[in-house]
Amino acid sequence: MGEEITPDFQGTSFQRMVWDEIRKIPSGETRTYKDIAESIGNPRSSRAVANACAANPQPISVPCHRVIRSDGTIGGYSGPGGTSRKSALLAVEKGLVGSRNT
């Protein structure tokens, strides 16, 4: 097939590093803010990771809804619909919604 398109997001180098890492999370899976911070080599930057998610300019290309709190709960979501939309997106990706034949 064709080449993968790499989006050119405007943001700080830290934000782009976070967004690149988030793009690696497979559909239906989640990572914590701490997981992302550790994977980019800044284990104490969980809050900065959350701020990078809040500044995400492309929620379709950078699925920040896949990033959750360390206790497993849904954190803030700056996209339309807030945390209820984030929960719904995760449920759809995990196959919990729409997988039943009626």
Look at residue 71 and tell me if it is in a domain: yes
One of 36, 40, 62, 64 is an active-site residue; which one?
64
Which CATH number do you get for residue 86? 1.10.10.10
How does strand 31-32 pair with strand 67-68? parallel
- Helices 46-54 and 13-22: crossing angle in degrees, nearest 10, is 90
Length of the chain: 102
Told to judge if 64 belongs to the known catalytic residues of this protein, a careful annotator would answer yes
Q: Which residue has the higher pLDDT, 33 or 97?
A: 33
Look at residue 99 and tell me if it is in a domain: no
pTM of the model: 0.81
Give the structural domain span for 31: 13-93
Query: Does the pLDDT value for residue 24 go beyond 60?
Result: yes
Look at residue 43 and tell me if it is in a domain: yes
pLDDT digits (tens, 9 = 90+) for 34-91: 999 999 999 999 999 999 999 998 888 899 999 999 999 888 776 667 788 888 888 9
Look at residue 2 and tell me if it is in a domain: no
Number of separate domains in the chain: 1
98 with 92: CB under 8 angstroms?
Answer: yes
Look at residue 25 and tell me if it is in a domain: yes
How far is Cα 22 from Cα 89, in angstroms, rounded to an integer?
15
